[in-house]
Structure 1
Amino acid sequence: MNGNRPQRAQLHGQWRLLGPAVVAWAAAALLIHFPGSGRLLAMGSAGIGSVLCLVWVLVLGRAGAPPTRTVGIALVGCAVLLGLGTRIDGIEGARSDPLLTGAAEAHGNVTMLTRVGGYPKPSSSIGGEDRSWVRAALFSVDGTPLERPSPAMLWLPGPPDDRWHPGARVLVTGSLVRGPPAELAAYEVRVSSLRYVGPASGIGRWTGPAAAALRASLHAVAADTTGAALVPGLAVGDTTLVSDDLDRVMRESSLTHLTAVSGSNCALVITAMTAVAKRLGLGRRVRILCGAAALGGFVIIVGPDASVQRAAIMAVVLLVSSYGGKRRHALPALGLATITLLIADPWQAIQPGFALSVTATVGILLWAAPLEAWLRSRVRLPRLLALPLAVAAVAQFACAPLLLLLQPGLPVGGVLANLLAAPAAPLGTGLGMVALLTLPVSASVGTCVLGIAVLPARWIEAAGAVSSSLPGARWYWPEGWPGAALLAGVYLVFGVAWAASSGWLRGSPPALRDGSGGWAPWRGRLRSTATLRRLVWATAAIGAGVFLAVVVVVPGAVRLGVPDDWAVVACDVGQGDAILLRDPARPSEVMLVDTGDDPELLGACLDLFGVRRIALLVLTHDHMDHVGAMQFALARSDGALVAPPSAEGEGRLALAKRVSRSGVPVAVGRAGVAGGVADSLVWEVLAPESGRQLATANATSLVLAVEVSGVRVLLLGDTGETEQRELVTRYPALTTDIVKVAHHGSRDQAVGFYATVGAQYGLVSSGEGNRYGHPNTALLADLAAAGTVPLRTDELGSIAIRLSPSGPEPWGAGARSAVMQ
């Protein structure tokens, strides 16, 4: 019976620092929303800690007894909260500097000296302009130094100078906007002009420019090498070459952590250096110092921003858990790392990356080793497959509730993608780093190494493409806090069932361990009464029932009510347009007119109505609410028809060129262009006329007349009164059965136009509660006067129209639109 006591004591000891870390995390996440509360936390923690010390000295100390475990943990917690509160109060003072607040309230341009906090990242607009952003610290305003630096986000008008590196000093001029108290950046600067002042100070004067030059050389060679877009990302987290389409595939397959500097990158650097040191016969302490030095150099190259700091520290935590077989040090090290990160920057507490990093590390520490052992012993998988599968499965399992706050659904395909990518990821990362270091010495050798790195990079691309395209790659689960709470509740139910079966509910934790020193609760035997066994099975059945009901029953029930013979669909994509058309007799040939600006909403609509491929994608004009999700749609499209450029788009990359970059055949629409299949679905562009460049993108909207099995559909884009009058003048006999109301139902409509075309139904694509007041009341009155029934996506959700012998019949998805997101 005493055999369990050492393990139980050891187990409890592992949580002594992790507990205060969780409390500090919760406190920071709450207090940064309320300026001034950090000082109160520091004062309260100091007072409580003093009382606890006094109690121990006066009461417990008299008997010569050491402080109890509870008192010790409480004192540690008070010390952590004291440091956290002091840090929050200090940073808030810098964020509310009178010079900065005054400049922000003046709404004018100011000149500021900044210190760059990382490498600029691209942020291309929908027009294709090269834009970028970078985090920085503000040091002076119009020549007046600040008392303390303040964090800011710089929005740059174009690509930055290649000399930029973390710590570089840059003089910027622009407007200053103060952010909410809980934002990571206290201010946003819309930069209008900038000037590079000089490199970082201290050792950064040499390391900063050198690191920037290394990254620039790798980027330049990768840009000229086919298939090398992922290599800079794998090596140093530089994703500027990754296309929108590839980025979407990586996100859908849960592989983005490979191109963001993560703990695996840091672990690879340390492992490689310590292996070399061991090969040279160096001792253990020297090997650790070599690994630490390599990690420091890697951090200098990739940039010391918050994500890199997290990755480096979490990598150290994982190494602490494995060196010397001392797994009992893992959780205390993680607790200390979390506390360190929070005190360094308390505003990380509400950042998704921080939460995912800590949660994934906890899951890997607790469950990866025993799951690997179970896979090897029960499933008979070799270690080469068992370890990456265990790590990927545990990380996905641990992070799933948090991921629901960022995107809907459970990305189970991500486990397969990570398993497939596991052999290639370290190879691609390692070769990318070798190319990075080799290029300055020998361009030919470095280029050759990078060419070899293309092979694992393409392997990873293929793994993502395969896993994201498989049926069932993402299971339905509601997003947001309700979905996260529901999934956490399912976890809790299964946890109770496991606890009951393994003996924890009776106060007797299992003593069994696997060969790696991890816990192996599934190897314990149930030593309980029949009542407890029934409790275990009933609890597990409840959890499984809830899980299957959400994953299988809800999506199935939603799809059962959807008409499968639809001809026209107005997708509910919020304040935007996305119209599906097809001949029900040829269901695979789908035409999509516009995409809205939200890929998830568009994807939900396509999934709801069973659309897998798009035969023709039509982009009526170059506005975000019509083409914002075009990369998502292009990945499923066989061809595209786009609007001609307008004067409004001068200086931006033409829509046709942006589409052609995706590899999809594209044509520019003009009046008279037509296509389709006779007696099925045919279409014709009615406007704009050829040879005219109109002033605005709205005026350049493609107007299409579509006929589906004898039913006429008129799609007006975002045309206004002028364009509608011209349309009636050029086509005096224009009539239709269904009209897509122009510009989401704005007031810019030609009086009497809808009475002229005589549609039975008018599709109004507008977002619920939109700030424009769409659809306009005067427009709705015009539709009523014309005898046209308005069908509004803000009221009905996605709207399908099926064709029956008696005419078009509308159907509204209602809440189904939200369920499939």
Structure 2
Amino acid sequence: MRVAILSFALGVWLFQQLPALPPPRWLAGGALVAVGGFLLAWRLACRPGGRLVLCLAAALAGVLWAGWRAEWRLADVLPMQYEGVDVRLSGVVDGLPRRFERGVRFVLEVEKADAPVPRRVQLAWYAGRGEDAAPPLPRAGERWRFTVRLKRPHGSVNPHGFDYEAWLLARGLRATGYVRAAGDNRLLGADAGGVSAAIHRSRAAIGERFARVLGDAPQTGIVTALVTGEQHAIPSGQWEVFRRTGVTHLMVISGGHVSLVALLVGGLAALLWRHLPGLPLRVPTRRVAALAGLLAATGYALLAGMEVPVQRALIMLAVVVLALLRGREAAAGRVLALALLAVLLVDPWAVLAPGFWLSFLAVGIILLVLGGRLSTGPAWWAATRVQLAITLGLIPALLLLFQSFSLLSPLANALAIPLVSFVITPLALAAALVPVDALLHAAGWLAGMLLRGLEWLAVSPLGVWQQAAPPGWLVALGAGAAGWLLLPRGTPGRFAASLALVPLLAWSPPRPPPGGFVATVLDVGQGQAIHVQTATHDLLADAGPSYGATDAGERVVVPYLQARGVRRLDMLLVSHGDADHAGGAGSVLDGPGADLLLASLAPGHALEARGHPALRACALGERWMWDGVRFEVLHPRPGQRARRENDNACVLRIEAEGGTLLIPGDIERGAESELLARADGHLAGDVVVAPHHGSRTSSTPALVAAVGAREVIYSVGYRNPYRHPHAEVWARWAAAGTRGWRTDAQGAIEVRVDAAGVRLEAERERRARYWHGR
């Protein structure tokens, strides 16, 4: 059974890698083949080949299950003609709305609409122009009427980047949009949504009480998250501390928390049951304790939001309790396999979430280390051994998913696990059930002490191993080596397995050859960020836009550079001070940083006020050579400040043996004319990033003719309000024989230039998935 379930999971995972959905008739035909396979496996159960047939049939069943669920979910679609138009709808708020700067974000279960809209949509409600106060906070279970503008699911697609469209699909959110401030927006009723809404209201009430009692203390979010599962309550800076110290799993409600609640409540129930006359003789205390623990764990899981780690733990606990009630012993491996099957039946997109892999891998490692072995030492040594095993066993997965792992994890967890599991979490849960503020203050004080200790550990520069994202085959080799090392002492080949980890830890991605370069125009929405890499140097031209409370530097550029193995930039070039180009620069400087900041900024700009020790004006005459590749700034003239800020943008030309790339920033007609007047044929190139994102105020016929590019790249946002690129500009470049590429439709665009010539590739085509654009 366990092998069949693993085969089913493999089938589900394989389906999620498909670039397009297979025709429905293929799914129907596959169902017949799967049924035949299971029947044949039953007939061959005791013969050679029977298990192989069973595994193949189970894998096909996984593919079919994921395919059927995908067909059903993708059918819930917003027609294109209703994107960006006013739609009146009403529905019930689902889950906990979240405040952000000048607004609130929430999910609405649509009941009525004057257009064919999906059943579940994610909405943002912003404060109106000139309004200081945020809009009202809708609450779970409330019925509202809104006037909204919607769009189909869309997100940035970058190498090794977060797939927002997959995240929306897994949660059944088939459209996103915003509430029109001048629309018909009003509360229709405050008590709808049934049991689910009541649970969410309880979660919200607990969070509000915790915030009221603990105030704005740094540990408030930690205590709240341990009870309600609201991870957004924890600031991003604290998540970085947890990542660097390897204790993130303790701040996300998972199997340990659920098991703890079951043990505490089950133990208390057993104690009480034993003292009730006659009852233990009728119903064994062990069964009562198991049922009480399961009920308590279920309540806690509902309160925590039922994320994948919680589902896995609850399912495993339910299987154990069921076996106990039937008088049977449940093998740990079988329990884990049944939990895996149940999670995938409920949510076949769970395989796309890092938490799914880390959760099941961690439990598998614990079973591998402790399963069937007698304890030969004190409890603290067993706990230490398990923690060391988890740290080692998760290294390949952590490098693949996050390109880093904590070297401080064993030490930090030795401090945090007992404190969080046996003191802070029970106190916080007790404070949620009993309105005694002293319990909450005690939990908060201890959480604050723990946070300060973790922050002290996190500042160590040697605390985190960080490297480029390794290829899949190397991760598989490392996973096999780590698994072999976790086998009992005396297993042959353990030294060889440790050597097999070296290639994984020493991995460095290939760089362009001398005389060539690779430029990646990142998909950052309506803005620009371009990474240029030569044989030994890295340059970032702009850092993308600001997104309000966060920016493209933090969300896109820094994770991308980390995955590419860029520890520090040789140069950050900020073409000009507009927020769509410079909005993410601060996050980049706070992250990998740059040896040189070359920028064209207005006096008093925030980047200038940072006081970078190597800030230099980006102006005509700047030129340098890296690894046989020539870089040259063509505009603006030194000391020049045009009236329009866009016309002060740096224009960078990169020339290698195989071709050239022109990055003109946001220059418009005036700067283009000036550039043409002094270029003297020096503008000709193979690839150009469209000036000002393809605005009609740029890309004059004279510039298009002077550049003569074969490829033009438009760095634009999906359905951006400026309608970039303008149809007239697109047609102008196309009429000149230039092929157009756009980041909103094709994701990040990679330009590779070397002795073999110029080659372009789009990330949405290289990493196509069936949900993209759906």
- The reply to whether TM is greater than 0.5 is yes
Distance 1:604 1:189 in 2: 25
Structure 2 counterpart of 1:382 = 381
Count of aligned pairs: 666
Q: Counterparts in 2 of 1:323-342, with a 5 A limit?
A: 329-342=331-344
Conservation of the 8 A alpha-carbon contact between 1:424 and 1:459: no
Pair 1:192 & 2:166 matched: no
**Residue of structure 2 equivalent to 1:434:** 427
Give the structure 1 partner of residue 122 of structure 2.
154
Distance, in Å, in 2 between the alignment partners of 1:177 and 1:753 is 35
In the aligned structure 2, how far is the partner of 1:347 from the partner of 1:722?
54
Check 1:164–1:191 CA distance in 2 against 1; reply closer, same or farther (3 A cut).
Answer: same
User: In structure 2, do the counterparts of structure 1 residues 390 and 115 end up closer, same or farther at CA, with 3 Å as the change threshold?
Assistant: farther
| Structure 1 counterpart of 2:384, one-letter code | L
What's the offset of the Cα at 1:672?
Answer: 13
The answer to whether residue 468 in structure 2 is matched with residue 522 in structure 1 is no
* Post-superposition offset of 1:488: 1.6
Question: d(CA) in 2 for partners of 1:373 and 1:622?
Answer: 65
Q: Which residue of 2 aligns with 1:263?
A: 255
C-alpha distance 549-67 of structure 1, shift in aligned 2 (>3 A):
closer
AA paired with 1:548? Answer: V
Structure 1 pair 228–206 and aligned structure 2 pair: CA distance change class (3 A) = closer
Which of 170, 174, 191 pairs up with 2:148?
174
Gapped regions of structure 2 (runs ≥ 5)? 127-133, 154-164, 275-284, 545-551, 620-632, 653-661, 705-711, 719-723, 738-748, 764-774
SS of 1:224's equivalent in the other structure is: coil
Give 1:342's aligned amino acid. Answer: L
Pair 1:139–1:441, CA change in 2 (3 A):
same
Cα distance in 1, alignment partners of residues 357 and 115 from structure 2 = 40
The alpha-carbon distance between structure 1 residues 240 and 52, as it changes in their structure 2 partners (threshold 3 A), is closer
Distance 1:34 1:274 in 2: 48
Following superposition, the deviation at residue 420 of structure 1 comes to 1.2
Q: Quote the Cα distance in structure 2 between the aligned partners of 1:83 and 1:457.
A: 43
* 1:288 aligned partner, one-letter code: A
Work out which of the two has the higher radius of gyration on C-alpha atoms and give 1 or 2: 1
Tell me, yes or no, if structure 1 residue 273 matches structure 2 residue 265: yes
Structure with the bigger RCO (C-alpha within 8 Å, sep 6+) is 2
Q: Is 2:139 aligned against 1:164?
A: yes
1:583-602 correspondence runs (5 A) = 594-596=542-544, 597=552
| Partners of 2:227 and 2:428 within 8 A in 1 | no
Q: Residue type matched to 2:293 in 1?
A: G
Contact 1:222–1:450 under 8 Å retained in 2: yes
What are the equivalent positions in structure 2 for 1:323-472 lying under 5 Å apart?
Answer: 329-343=331-345, 345-353=346-354, 355-356=356-357, 359-361=360-362, 363-369=364-370, 382-397=381-396, 399-400=397-398, 404=400, 406-407=401-402, 409=403, 411=404, 413-414=405-406, 416-417=408-409, 419-425=411-417, 427-428=419-420, 431=424, 434-435=427-428, 438=431, 441-443=435-437, 446-447=440-441, 449-466=443-460, 470=464, 472=465
Within 5 A, what are the aligned runs for 1:62-101? 96=75
Question: Partner of 1:595: helix, strand, or coil?
Answer: coil
1:44 pairs with 2:32: yes
Shift of 1:188: 1.1
**What secondary structure sits across from 1:132 in the alignment?**
strand
- Contact kept, 8 Å, 1:621 with 1:701, in 2: the verdict is no
Does the aligned pair in 1 maintain the 2:123–2:176 contact within 8 Å? Answer: yes
Per-residue Cα deviation, 1:483-538 (whole angstroms, up to 9, x for no partner): 2x33224545887x89xxxxxxxxxxxxxxxxxxxxx8534576xxxxxxxxx69x
Tell me which residue corresponds to 2:7: 22
Q: Does 1:699 align with 2:646?
A: yes
Q: Does 1:296 align with 2:244?
A: no
Helix, strand or coil for the counterpart of 1:335?
helix
- Return the alpha-carbon distance in structure 2 between the equivalents of residues 130 and 645 of structure 1: 30
Q: 1:114 deviation in Å?
A: 4.0
AA aligned opposite 2:448: V
Gaps of 5+ in 1: 1-15, 61-65, 499-519, 527-535, 564-568, 647-653, 674-682, 706-713, 755-763, 782-792, 800-809
Question: Structure 1 residue 213: deviation in Å?
Answer: 0.9
**CA offsets, 1:355-381, max 9 Å, x none?**
41564255234323269989979xx98
Q: What is the TM-score when the length of structure 1 is the normalising length?
A: 0.59
Rounded Cα–Cα distance in structure 2 between residues aligned with 1:26 and 1:185: 21
Q: Contact between 2:244 and 2:463, CA under 8 Å: does it hold in 1?
A: no
CA distance, structure 2, for counterparts of residue 490 and residue 83 of structure 1: 26
**Aligned residue number for residue 719 of structure 1:** 667
Q: How many angstroms does 1:214 deviate by?
A: 0.7
User: Are the equivalent residues in 2 in contact too, given 1:270–1:292 (CA < 8 A)?
Assistant: yes
* Offset from partner CA, 1:257-307 (integer Å, 9 cap, x none): 344332233233333434555666754333333322332332333224556
TM-score of the aligned structures, taking structure 2 as reference length: 0.61
**Distance (Å, rounded) in 2 between the aligned partners of 1:364 and 1:322:** 24
Q: What percentage of aligned pairs have identical amino acids?
A: 19
- 2: CA distance between counterparts of 1:375 and 1:721? 79
Letter in 2 for 1:368: V
* Matching of residues 660-809 of structure 1 within 5 Å: 699=646, 718-722=666-670, 748=698, 795=751
Between the aligned partners of 1:89 and 1:593, the Cα distance in structure 2 is: 44
Partner of 1:634: 590
Contact 1:263–1:315 at 8 Å: present in 2 too? Answer: no
What is the rounded CA distance, in whole Å, between the counterparts of 2:616 and 2:543 in structure 1? 20
Q: Deviation per CA, 1:599-646, whole angstroms, max 9, x where unpaired?
A: 776577689998659999968434455434642432456999999899
Q: State how far apart, in whole Å, the 2-side matches of 1:321 and 1:627 are.
A: 57
Give me the CA root mean square deviation: 7.0
